[in-house]
Structure 1
Amino acid sequence: MAFVTTIAPMSENKPTPFILVPEYALLKSLPKNLQTRFVTALKLMHEDLASGLCWEQIATQSAISPFHFHRQFSELFKETPGQYLSRVRLQYAVHYIFSEQDYKIIDIAHECGFASSQSLGKALKNALGLTAKQIRAMGVTGTPRQTAEILAKLAHPDECGSLENKLAENLPCELVWYPQRGMKLLPNISTEWDTIFETLGERSTRIMGVTPVNQLENSWQDIKTSIGDWQVCASEHTISLPEGHYFCCDVYIVSDAGYSVALEQLFKTIESAGYQLDPNGYFVEIVRDIEMTVTGGVTFSFQVPVMM
């Protein structure tokens, strides 16, 4: 596999991202009128979890008969509407359990459409073999690899694994040489991306996260990610990144599973191309674009330093 080295301009123009969203890929095959109805149904499934709507109610509100919705959805998505809705609820619940350490489990359960913490606990045990307490602990003492293994169990099913993994096989990666650059450290801001998005909104596109490569296999509590504003003049930089080669991809994602799979594929590509990670470098994440809606996605630029 050959890669062409490019030199990134300091203006950091936005490239077209790769869309790593199973729903987008699946809906392409539908006629426009049916696409519109399915989009309405999917939005209801994602935006109104707390109401506890069943899939039959969602079909009716989307102007599709429950019978036809069940048949068409199952054929297209390779799971029933009920299975999809249950999986989506668990995706959101696991996200909150991992990232919101002070969020009570009962509140997470209600937010995600579960009648009680007990019903959420039963669903977690059946799907993941873990309790909410174990998942919450893993958000501190677990590693990114262990987290990825959990998220993989909640990814979109496919004949040979997950649809996220299948889509990621075509993730375009590029070897880029970057000149020296930097950012102004924002010490009082969260390192959780969702919290950053809620706090800064569209200004999140000014944000860069940098993590030492030699910490990427550590537990979450031992990974020190720094967050800063890279769209400032060089005189304001408090953290500098040395010039060098980076393996990069720009990817549009809407879920933790998509985020995890994109990174996994990027590192696989680096290994298959025969490059070594720079142990003294920083893994870089830049928010290229963000959609400020409940179901909106984020375009990330992931950049991994490599030795030539």
Structure 2
Amino acid sequence: MSDQKPTPFVLVPEYALLDALPENVQTRFATALTLMHEDLSSGLSWEQIATQSAISPFHFHRQFTELFNETPGQYLSRLRLQYVMHYLFAEQDYKVIDIAHECGFSSSQSLGKALKKAIGLTAKQVRALGVSGTPRQTAEIIGKLAHPAEQGTIENKLAAKLPCELVWYPQRGMKYLPHVSNDWDTIFDTFGEKSTRIMATTPINQLEKSWQDIETHIGDWQASASEHTRTVAEGHYFCCDVYVVSDAGYAAALEQLFNIIESQGYQLDEKGYLVEIVRDIEMTDTGGVTFSFQVPVKV
């Protein structure tokens, strides 16, 4: 496998929206967004964030709402709930009250109220969905917390422009890591910058099953050939490289990739594996990840 890093497609609503602003305004808004993302547990209000970003709360509220199609308070609440969803899905033993405090909610009751209003589910129901739900079901729920546009979401609007290509790959191998979580954030916490050695393979014929019945294998594709314990068959793959900073962006990219395959008349190879490789990772609180998504097709 080549170790080259193709230029990824950036699927980040904030970047797309800020790009249209004058440089000095971009800087102030970027500062505000960084404050929103970096320390959710502090419970900073949007007014405090505006002040710390050298913007008057009045002008910040007006400009933010015009640009982002939601108020700064709505954005901050949605951001907190995105993190809540991650913890509920990936950290089954993490108490709801602890998740609430970690994400800037004053109590589990206030978290529950916000969650119910945003996605129509309780924390218990979300946690159950992370076990008995399907990838499609969880993606639909995550999509409810995507960045709103006048119609639909900005993630989906950006994903509609996702560049893909058909690539032939020879047989590839990896050193299977049997005790590694298949949750990407846990993988990033475990391996840090070495996450670029990680490959995840998921059987195509299991993607409609519940999470508890899906066998995703995690391995080191940069291990020497003599250490390889699993192989990925040669064949044609529909591929894209995409930079994301949220689960909503990740889900939108994968969904669009499958949509493109269907619209172009290709048939999925049910005997193959969805391959996910970390091309690059930014180890900061607000940094993103470049994924290579590869879906096997029959040609």
**TM-score tier (shorter):** over 0.9
Corresponding residue for residue 294 of structure 1: 285
Give the Cα–Cα distance (whole angstroms) in 2 for the partners of residues 11 and 261 of structure 1. Answer: 26
Give the 3-state SS of the residue equivalent to 1:279 in structure 2.
coil
2:198 aligned with 1:217 = no
Q: RMSD across aligned C-alpha pairs, in angstroms?
A: 0.7
Corresponding residue for residue 18 of structure 2: 27
Pick one of 21, 25, 40 that aligns with 1:49.
40
Give the Cα–Cα distance (whole angstroms) in 2 for the partners of residues 97 and 292 of structure 1. Answer: 22
- The letter of the residue matching 2:256 is Q
1:233, CA displacement in angstroms?
2.2
2:184 aligned with 1:190 = no
Give the 3-state SS of the residue equivalent to 1:232 in structure 2.
coil
Give the Cα–Cα distance (whole angstroms) in 2 for the partners of residues 144 and 285 of structure 1. Answer: 15
2:198 aligned with 1:207 = yes
Q: Displaced runs of 4+ in structure 1, greater than 2 A?
A: none
2:145 aligned with 1:154 = yes
Corresponding residue for residue 260 of structure 1: 251
TM-score by length of 1: 0.96
2:116 aligned with 1:125 = yes
Give the Cα–Cα distance (whole angstroms) in 2 for the partners of residues 88 and 186 of structure 1. Answer: 32
- The letter of the residue matching 1:30 is L
Listed as ranges, the gaps of 5+ residues in structure 2 are: none
1:59, CA displacement in angstroms?
0.1
- The letter of the residue matching 2:66 is E
- The letter of the residue matching 1:137 is A
1:241, CA displacement in angstroms?
1.1
- The letter of the residue matching 1:29 is A
Give the 3-state SS of the residue equivalent to 2:138 in structure 1.
helix
How many residue pairs end up in the alignment?
Answer: 299
Give the 3-state SS of the residue equivalent to 2:55 in structure 1.
coil
Give the Cα–Cα distance (whole angstroms) in 1 for the partners of residues 253 and 217 of structure 2. Answer: 21
Corresponding residue for residue 6 of structure 2: 15
Listed as ranges, the gaps of 5+ residues in structure 1 are: 1-9
2:88 aligned with 1:63 = no
Report 1:44-123 matches (<5 A). Answer: 44-123=35-114
Q: Percent identity among equivalent residues?
A: 78
1:12, CA displacement in angstroms?
3.3
Corresponding residue for residue 138 of structure 1: 129
Q: Structure 1 residues 227-236 or 20-29, which shifts more?
A: 227-236
TM-score by length of 2: 0.99
Give the Cα–Cα distance (whole angstroms) in 1 for the partners of residues 182 and 170 of structure 2. Answer: 25
